[in-house]
Amino acid sequence: MSTPQQPTGETVASAPNGDVIASVPTGETLAAASNGDVIASVPTGETLASADTSASGAAGAAEDIRLASYTTLRIGGPADQLVEVTTEQELIAAVREADAAVQPVLLLSGGSNVVIGDEGFRGTVIKIATRGIRIDADACSGAMVHVQAGEDWDGFVQRAIAEEWSGLESMSGIPGLTGSTPVQNVGAYGYEVAETIASVRVWDRVDHAVRTIFAADCGFTYRNSRFKADPTRYVVLEVAFQLPLGNLSAPIGYAELARVLDVEPGKRAPMTEVREAVLALRSGKGMVLDESDHDTWSAGSFFTNPLLDTTAEVPAGAPQWPQPDGRVKTSAAWLIEHAGVAKGFAIGDAAVSTKHTLALTNRGNATAKELLALATHVRTQVQQAFGITLVNEPVLVNCSL
């Protein structure tokens, strides 16, 4: 029997591109940042006061905004107020003002890994739109690239390839913003951002100061970090990446990607070819955003790959990958498929993707209630079939499984 990654009956908060950040008891409304910073939780039924960000110099506030239009799922009710911040100073000021007034806020970045309840968010949403990339390049040490939290992740990956900064190409096509990536140690096709991050600059909400945390102190493990472990403390402002120079990729370690590229595992390939191959693989699974394809109206993988204590807990025939801490990771997609959940299975207008069982999608007019009913069904089927409790990956805001 597996050890669940979080108690059942709790609302789970996670980074927009990844795994669980924190949990709070069911019956509370979770205010979480899309860059992985959980702001606060308040008892259901309490009124959330809007944060007054007028002194922050933010770009402006709008009222009664439907949050569905800010998420890749296109699901979510209204917010009392939405404020867009375009500089670090505006972001810090907005968070400080809300904290000083004991007012919960929702920090929203790319909206690619969040489920917002049909009732929306009774408070202030701060939309992160900080931009800027600063580069220090050296032929010996490579490129040190400082990226603002609000920079589009895949846009940055594209630039890295164009500039011949190696190491990010296997993580092409991941939706969301750069500030999200260190929180849950985003990764794909054999690589994690922990392998290239040099430091993370944050606003420390306890010490009320800007801090630079070097990679060795970030506590990176599989889909985890110190930012995820202490979610109420840090707001990511900027991420610094140390990237080798050259037009060849990092060694290809993922078997599926190596087969597509027709290279031996451990060999390198031109970064442009790696990006094309990764995007093709992701597109085939509905994991590259496409307005016309409802299979991409999702929050990406809805469940994380379970980490089990021993190989004996892995179901017969299921994939397994030993982890450095002695645990074993298995495939959530395999478990879902072999538990009898078919691609395309739907509850209302929410459906399992026709391309990939890990994605739960909006076929056009799905509600959060329908999506979460579908997620509950999938999780129950896997639990009954294998005794393994799947953990949801997206942040749940004002809703729960």
Catalytic residue IDs: 223, 301, 393
**DSSP alpha helices (H): ranges in 120-239?**
153-162, 226-229
DSSP state of 227: H
Cβ-contact 17, 112 below 8 angstroms:
yes
d(CA 225, CA 348): 37
DSSP for 239-289, written as a single string: EEEEE-BSSBPSP---HHHHHHHT--TT---BHHHHHHHHHHHHHHTT-S-
- Closest by CA to 92, choosing from 118, 133, 56, is 56
AA identity, residue 229: A
Residue 98 near residue 203 (C-beta atoms within 8 A): no
Alpha-carbon torsion (97, 214, 160, 221), positive or negative: negative
CA 22 from chain centre, in angstroms, equals 13
Helix ranges restricted to H, 72-186: 88-100, 153-162
- Return the axis-axis angle of helices 153-162 and 271-284, rounded to nearest 10°: 150
Q: Are strands 133-138 and 142-148 parallel, antiparallel or unpaired?
A: antiparallel
Amino acid identity, position 147: V
Alpha helices in 318-390 (DSSP H): 332-338, 368-386
Strand partners, 125: 82, 106
**Dist. CA 134–CA 78, nearest whole Å:** 36
Helix, strand or coil, per DSSP, at residue 185:
coil
The C-alpha atoms of residue 395 and residue 161 are separated, in whole angstroms, by 30
